[in-house]
Chains A and B, each alone.
Chain A
Amino acid sequence: MATAYERVQAARSGKRPSGGYYIDRMVDGFVELHGDRRYGDDPAIIGGIGWMNGQAVTVIAMERGDSIEDRMRRHFGCPSPEGYRKALRLMKLSEKFGRPIICLIGSSGAYCGIQAEQRGQGEAIAENLFEMMGLRVPIISVVIGEGGSGGALALGVCDTAIMLENSVYSVISPEGCASILWKDASKAPEAAEALHLTSYDLHKFGVVEHVIKEQNRTEKEIGAELKQLILDELAQKSAMSVDALLAARYQKFRSIGA
């Protein structure tokens, strides 16, 4: 069994597929849409529409980039306020036309910087949490890599939450936790254990509904299983009335720590 920190490292690995990879694997005829209509377009988030087994879907995905230039440009997948606002714009568009929404989460968190604060990083995340609670179409969120705190949760309000086995999801990075607790970032492995941030921990807490196994499987196989699971979940959620869907979404989060 992998330790918590080994999973953190696997989740962060540069070799691990990012959002764009899963879009390619799962979505046919993907059309990327750009911009928040307020300030700019954030390449840390890829958003667009396409087909999944003949069904129109909206996909919002964090993308860390491949080459070093691409990674710099995309802030390693850490979204700025414009990214969250683009995501919300596309989610509202999706709601208008009755399309379900799939969110793929995988970066160390919201981008940290002076400009991001000036343009309301906190407000952008808060707005997504508030609006996603009421979106009248099914939302499936998948943690594919590192689920870093509030910046991840901003795409994480959903009807079904899925994690890939070696992804992690945490309130704070193990390094951040270790330096606050023990004034020593090198104790991150201990902090990772203490935080209970693995897919199995979150499944046990009831925060995520499904874990997709990665061990001894190719990325292609993982992508195929993820696609099938999303389709199954969408079929279930789409059969519900909007009122029942929203009530269940409220209850899903309402019951955590109640």
Chain B
Amino acid sequence: MSLKDTISSILPHSTPAAPAQEPRTCKQCGTTTAYEELRKNHMICPSCGAYYRMHAWERIADILDEGSFTELDKAMQSSDPISFPNYPQKLAQAKQASGLQEAVVCGIGKIEGVRCAVFVMDSAFMMGSMGTIVGEKITRLFEKATAQKLPVVGFLTSGGARMQEGILSLMQMAKVSGAVRKHSDNGGLYLPVLTDPTTGGITASFAMQGDIILAEPHALIGFAGQRVIEQTTGEKLPQGFQRAEFLLEHGFVDLIEERPRLRFMLANLLKLHQKPETPKMTKPFRSLMPERRR
């Protein structure tokens, strides 16, 4: 099934633009792979194991139960609140390039039968940067999850706050943090999955506010940019600096999970936090989980 078909099966009444379905070439090893094969392989290069960055709808198709996802606030679009030079043009290009209205897709869906609020950021839209609309959509999602007592699963990727919306972007870090806090105070579970790259103001806010923080292998995760650190300190960055494994070693993420196992790991974590009266795992967790690579 093509991605377009998958999406239309998930969303019978919506036709979001699908990412290009031409064969892709791996940046790490140069192998070209048919799109269908990549999709089946969770957008992992079959020859070297490198992770392609996922489109928001690829992620939704990869993780959520088929036909379970309802998108929220899908028509919300950024205006140009501080009249920043060339921002309207940048937004138009980003929409064109990503097939999305903004850098995050939010909605309610199910993972292995467990209902949850889900947000998926997309680096194809202005590097996944957060302006007022990204902040507003994620805030609304947490508020809805709080009201409906749903867990939140987030897939993060972002270059940080969006400079084209100035201080209003920075303030979204506080706004979303407030909503995360309310959800948490209400007993809600929040599982952020940090994917490549998660940096700047996103790391300094809702990326690091999860109850359990997951990361994809080798994802770049940090606050300050690598070039800026090198220029400021004149020091050479250590091997693997700001990669998921580095954060695990230093105690800032709970676990790193491979993409083929991620859906099951999330289901397991969601079910481990359900109230006792709700159904338990129907099959043993071990039987669902694909073997670890290597």
Contacts and interface: CB of A to CB of B under 8 A. Distances in A.
Contact of B204 (A154, A205, A250, A256): A154
B241 interface: yes
B250 A118 contact: yes
A130 B167 CA distance: 19
Contact of A169 (B139, B167, B204, B228): B167
Nearest to A190: B85
B233 A170 contact: no
Contact of A205 (B168, B181, B246): B168
B285 interface: no
Interface in A44-61: none
Contacts of A177: 163
Interface string A95-133: 000000000000000101110111111110111011001
B171 interface: yes
Given A117-B242, A156-B174, A257-B81, A195 B224 contact: no
A1 B133 CA distance: 33
Contacts of B171: 153, 207, 253, 256-257
Interface size range of chain B in the complex: 35 or more
Q: How large is the interface on A (under 10, 10 to 19, 20 to 34, 35 or more residues)?
A: 35 or more
B169 A114 contact: no
Interface in A146-164: 149-150, 153-154, 156-157
B205 interface: yes
Given A113-B233, A170-B167, A257-B81, A250 B250 contact: no
A134 interface: yes
B211 to A, nearest CB: 12
B114 to A, nearest CB: 25
A177 B178 CA distance: 27
A114 B201 contact: no
B98 interface: no
Nearest to A157: B174
Contact of B170 (A113, A116, A171, A181): A171
Contact of A117 (B133, B167, B241, B251): B241
Contact of B178 (A150, A153, A250): A250
A149 B224 contact: no
Interface of A: 110, 112-114, 116-123, 125-127, 129-130, 133-134, 149-150, 153-154, 156-157, 169-172, 177, 180-181, 194-197, 201-202, 205, 207, 249-250, 253-254, 256-258
Closest 7 interchain pairs by CB? Answer: A257-B132, A122-B203, A126-B208, A122-B223, A129-B177, A125-B204, A171-B170
